[in-house]
Amino acid sequence: MSGPHLIGTSALVDGRLLQDEQEVAIAEGPLEEMLRGLYQTLTLDYPKFHKMDAVSKLGLLLTEPLVRMAREHGADITNDMAIAGMGRSGCSTTDQEHWRVRTATGLASPAVFVYTLPNIGLGEITIRHKVFGPSVCLLADRPDAELFWNTMRCFHERDGTAWAICYWSDIFADRYEAKAVLIGPGSGRPLDQRMLRTLFDIPT
């Protein structure tokens, strides 16, 4: 198995979904409207999207270009792909919505409650793309290059998966952050921790 290489990147900045720094979709408006606009622009045709909470939608849109890219490179998404998701506030926005409904009505909404786990967005990505391989949901104050690097090594050297997506996504109030990298074998740039630090804009 060859060492890990950087195959591609994606990011969502100011309503622009970028793949390798090139715009692939753009949408405007408040967060939910913007996410819906990106979904339409990408013509995903995935009705489950509309049931998801915002942070799950964000993760799904962010990783969509990278999964497509992996397929174009011949990756076996189902059996040979791992995913590490990382965020700061987890599903806090949904937690607050669950608690608002709970206290306002005396009852909880099952449709909201099932999204009050930080890893559900990751689960949605595995469901959409039939990823049976390993995945881990990590929480940290800020993107952590060492944690991404070590986790990616675990996937590669311990679990034996050749392909991995590492992403940072976070939503709190109307602020969002979303960046992702696709790592795989072959002919890209050999990956190291310093490169991850640069890609995720982590100060040295």
Q: Which residues contact another protein (rule: CB under 8 A)?
A: 78, 88-90, 92, 95-96, 98-99, 102, 106-110, 113-114, 116-120, 122-124, 126-127, 129-141, 147, 150-151, 153-154, 157-160, 172
Nearer to another protein, 38 or 122 (CB): 122
CB 196 within 8 A of CB 84: no
Nearer to another protein, 28 or 100 (CB): 100
Nearer to another protein, 47 or 106 (CB): 106
Report the chain's C-alpha Rg in angstroms. 17
Nearer to another protein, 39 or 155 (CB): 155
In angstroms, give the least distance from the CB of 120 to another protein.
5
In angstroms, give the least distance from the CB of 181 to another protein.
19
Q: How far apart are CA 104 and CA 168, in angstroms?
A: 32
In angstroms, give the least distance from the CB of 147 to another protein.
6
Helix (H, G, I), strand (E, B) or coil at 130: coil
What does the DSSP assignment read for 72-95?
Answer: HTT--TTTSEEEEEEESSTTHHHH
In angstroms, give the least distance from the CB of 142 to another protein.
9
Which of 161, 147, 177 minimizes the C-alpha distance to 14? 177
Which of 182, 199, 189, 190 minimizes the C-alpha distance to 73? 182
